[in-house]
Structure 1
Amino acid sequence: MTPLVEKAEKFVKKLFREKLPNTFIYHNFKHTQRVAKSTNELIEKSEIHVKQKEALLLAAWLHDTGYTETYSGHEEKSIEIANDWLRKNGADEELISDVSRCIRATKMSVEPSDLLEKIIKDADTSHLAQDYFSDVSELLRQELRLQHIKNFGAQEWVEQNIKLFTQKHQFYTDHALKKWKEQKDKNLQDLLEKERKIKKKIAKEETKAKLKVKYKDKSPDRGIQTLFRVTMRNHLKLSDIADAKANILLSVNAIIISLMIANLIPDLTAPTPDYHLMIPTLVLICFSVASIIGAIMSTRPDITTGEFTREQVKKREVNVLFFGNFHRMPYDQFEWAMNEIIHDHSYVYESLMKDLYLLGVVLNRKYRLLRITYNIFMVGIILSVLSFIVTYYVV
């Protein structure tokens, strides 16, 4: 490495540290080091003059200095910076000219015309044939986003890289063609595999979306689901309330009967029994017993057969959702019946409606019996009190 090349390396490092924005995560000093290393490798495998070797290494170190001032057209700005620096450091015009045309050759649109331009061209794109290509490629994608040039999606970026590999890029030097092309082809295979996986994932998501749209109308609407859920919950709450009311009647009347019997028996067995209290007491006991019977009737479950036939299921004559209709059936028959419902959306709605209707019928019976029972209890209390009053004044 000549003293001028060493100076160029230090100049570029200082320039990038002071003037290159942090958003340049690809075109930075590390990238320049890679290009200089690749340039040196190609020089060693080529027969070129020492003067040309120096020009190539200077071009490798200075070719991206224009990024400190502009992104678009950075090559020309790099040439300006390189020429100014070279003149200040005593370089002759021939060397400056060679460096300038080498930097200009790094443009994608420029076709190299001699060995120098071919070497710098291959060195600048040597990352395409390295095992770290995927990492530096992602850095370039993010740099383009940070520079507000273009925000490539993952699939679009892979497609752009494949296009670069297959249509826009080629190696020109013999060494690059022999030693680098194998890794480049491997990187291309990785890109093609990545593209295949991305397309497969997208196709899967599209299929999933289509199926979702397709079966959205066939599946129960959210509003219908809410309707059945809320209505069913309300019916169950009403059933619990009815059972609680029946339990209150049972408890109250059991206590009344216990107290009445406990007080009646001593009075009847006394030397001078109070027979005048027997009638009102018996009235209260009779009505209490009737109330207990009514409360029991309102909560007593109906006995069902627990069996059904396949014909009944096919004709939709049985509500398979109610346990009382299937508790004696073998599991395979119950599973078959449930599958018949699940695979027919209209049958699902019909079964839910039937279940809701039958629950309403049971609730009606419960509340009707409870109303009668409460009326009996109320009448019994009134008649008992009146009987006690009449007995007290008459006797």
Structure 2
Amino acid sequence: MHYREILDQLRTHVAQLFHSSCDERFIYHNLDHTEQVVENVVNIANHYQLSDQDFFIVVAASWFHDIGYLFDCGRHEAKGVDLAVAFLEEHNVDTDVVAKVKGCILATMMPQRPEGLLQQIVCDADLFHLGSSSFKERNKLMRKEVEAFSNHKIDKDDWNRKTISLFMAHHFHTEYCQTLLNSTKAINLARLEENLLNQPTVDIIKKEGKEKKNSKPERGVETMFRVTSTNHQRLSDMADNKAHIMISTNSIILSVILSLLLRKLEDNPHLIIPTLLLLIICVVTMVFSILATRPSIPKGIFTNEDIQEKRVNLLFFGNFYRMSLPEYENGMNKLMDDSDFLYGSLIKDIYSQGVVLGRKYRLLRVAYNVFMFGIVAAVLAFIIASFLVAM
């Protein structure tokens, strides 16, 4: 099944539906929101390294999860399911895959009760903004959309009360989103409660002052780190695959040499040098390929001094795997409370990935060069040896 091709057609199909059924009242539930949910799904799915089929299921569901608003706001999930099933069946997608896409869409119905990782991913991606810095802006858009469809102004306090109720009833389902979003979600909830009481707390004032001081485009920075880290991971996977190809290829050649050629060297002494040359080439290539994939793990320990001076990168397991859970929790709490420490750790993490990638690709280049030029030399050696004997 060519899932990538179907996803490309699916994306175009959904975009056309949004454009052809455009309603200016959809300030929140529009193509921009759907694309944002798809982006969230892709990021969560990449974290869990889903198979191609599971990746297709969650992405397809995210494209169709709110498309039903264009046709039936009251039962938009069911309408979205109908549109998704019609499209997928038209493209001959397996019935079990269609059923899972349907389940993921219906799981977004409030209150969310997802079953299994795939439905959890789609549900968390749909309400991802509750734990993000863009919540305030998204919440305003949602309120304006409801006002547009109801044709009356909604009291701000009443809206805040309903939103607080949503926060209290909601929880992120995947461990990834819980770790990534729960702290910001708590801040967003605190702000809603303080706005309702009209008594901003000292903590909120400090937080807002800190945000103004930093004045960083948080979403853009987070996207940059996420995309860069994902690209590095893909390059690392590519390097591992290339090394695996070299190891497998040369293992086969070595097996042939040891099982066939070595037995015939007594009767064909002129093949000794070409055979030894080929043997050395295969061994050297395998050694460099193995070196490219051989893991290197640090000592796995950090000290309080490392935390205070922000020298340790707690985002890499090699720096903490020998520490106790309370010590690691203490370090992570300090990391999350200090934006400079957090961004510094992300920078170190990406830099470390780049260093490892550089080493992998240098070794792989040596392995490929040895194999490429060596195999040519070996073949020429066999040809020359056979020619000399024939003379």
TM-score scaled by structure 1? 0.48
Instruction: Find the structure with the greater CA-based Rg.
Output: 1
TM-score scaled by structure 2? 0.49
